[in-house]
């Protein structure tokens, strides 16, 4: 059976959690978004970029009892009850150890097509009810939406999940559209870190900088924790670049690190506040966004005080 190709519907960013009787709420997953098509014998999974990735995840074969359908969902690696993007990246290679140690799960959260019939114009609740009755298979999960956004957010914070997605009751599915009917609320932390350098700007940032290179004091040098290149206005880029050029020292303030990019080092005086999703095992922050400069004395910002071991890290 030939199934239609659907592009994933996208959510708009929302500044904070909320509850509303006209909305349904579900967790936001830390994985790879995928639209899965199953014709009864062959499975395909297309990502947001259009890449076909089913061959990477041979364990994602639906139950033989599942009729031909198209599912929207997320490919994740579950660890300790949470989706681990770092473990999913480690699984990218089809090695025996990757298949054994990091099996993937497909979390299905919408049903777009079933038994030869498109469902995208049906209300959200009808699609969810039909999805709930399908026998998907052993490597598949479903999470029932809730009407209590505040209660879900407590779970998100308590378990340090990716965030939550709110979906308007009665809304249709709009393939490829970033719709106001879906809202995503990210669960972020904040860290203060020392600016130890910057990377050269490219493209539209030629003449300013690409990213601030950040670290925390560990002994007499900075331990590199990552770069932040988003959250700047054009005015910010120009003003910050001018200030950075006046601070350039002769040597890098960072400990040697094979992953540290080529940088223009600066005197480690400025302190940046950065929102981020979480820390990797290597001690880098993920999904950073610049929030502004802080007044803290740079010498007080150590790996012990600001790194991932702190209570809210």
163-168: strand order across its sheet: 10-13, 178-186, 163-168, 23-28
CA separation for the pair 190, 272 (Å, rounded) = 10
Identify whether the C-beta of residue 183 lies closer than 8 Å to the C-beta of residue 26: no
Instruction: Look up 291 and say whether it is catalytic.
Output: no
Q: Which of 102, 162, 160 minimizes the C-alpha distance to 308?
A: 160
CA separation for the pair 166, 185 (Å, rounded) = 8
Enter the DSSP assignment of 66.
P
170 sits in the region (left: phi over 0; alpha: psi -120 to 50; else beta) called: left
Identify whether the C-beta of residue 22 lies closer than 8 Å to the C-beta of residue 171: no
CA separation for the pair 108, 25 (Å, rounded) = 15
Q: Which of 42, 112, 101 minimizes the C-alpha distance to 72?
A: 112
CA separation for the pair 195, 273 (Å, rounded) = 10
**DSSP H/E element including 234:** helix 234-245
Q: Please count the other Cβ atoms lying within 10 Å of the Cβ belonging to residue 245.
A: 12
CA separation for the pair 167, 152 (Å, rounded) = 14
Identify whether the C-beta of residue 292 lies closer than 8 Å to the C-beta of residue 212: no
Query: Active-site residues: which are they?
Result: 28
């Amino acid at each position: 059976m030939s199934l239609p190709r659907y592009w994933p519907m996208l959510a708009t960013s929302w500044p904070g959690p909320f509850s509303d009787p006209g909305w349904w709420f579900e967790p936001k997953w830390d994985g790879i978004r995928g639209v899965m098509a199953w014709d009864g014998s062959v499975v395909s999974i297309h990502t947001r970029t259009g890449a076909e990735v089913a061959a990477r995840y041979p364990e994602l074969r639906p139950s033989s009892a599942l009729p031909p359908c198209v599912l929207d969902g997320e490919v994740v690696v579950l660890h300790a009850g949470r989706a681990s993007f770092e473990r999913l990246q480690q699984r990218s290679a089809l090695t025996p150890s990757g298949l054994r140690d990091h099996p993937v799960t497909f979390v299905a959260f919408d049903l777009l097509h079933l038994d030869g019939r498109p469902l995208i114009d049906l209300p959200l609740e009808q699609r969810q009810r039909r999805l709930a009755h399908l026998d998907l298979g052993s490597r598949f999960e479903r999470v029932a939406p809730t009407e209590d956004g505040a209660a879900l957010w407590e779970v998100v914070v308590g378990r340090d999940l990716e965030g939550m997605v709110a979906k308007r009751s009665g809304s249709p599915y709009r393939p490829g559209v970033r719709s106001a009917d879906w809202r995503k609320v990210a669960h972020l932390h904040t860290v203060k870190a020392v600016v130890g350098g910057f990377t050269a700007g490219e493209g539209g940032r030629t003449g300013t900088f690409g990213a601030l290179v950040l670290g925390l004091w560990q002994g007499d040098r900075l331990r590199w924790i990552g770069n932040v290149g988003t959250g700047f206005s054009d005015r910010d880029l120009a003003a910050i670049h001018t200030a950075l050029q006046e601070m350039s020292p002769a040597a890098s303030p960072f400990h040697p690190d094979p992953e540290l990019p080529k940088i223009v080092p600066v005197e480690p005086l400025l302190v940046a506040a950065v929102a981020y999703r979480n820390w990797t095992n290597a001690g880098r922050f993920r999904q950073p966004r610049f929030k502004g400069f802080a007044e803290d004395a740079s010498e007080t910002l150590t790996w012990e005080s600001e790194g991932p071991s702190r209570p809210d890290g």
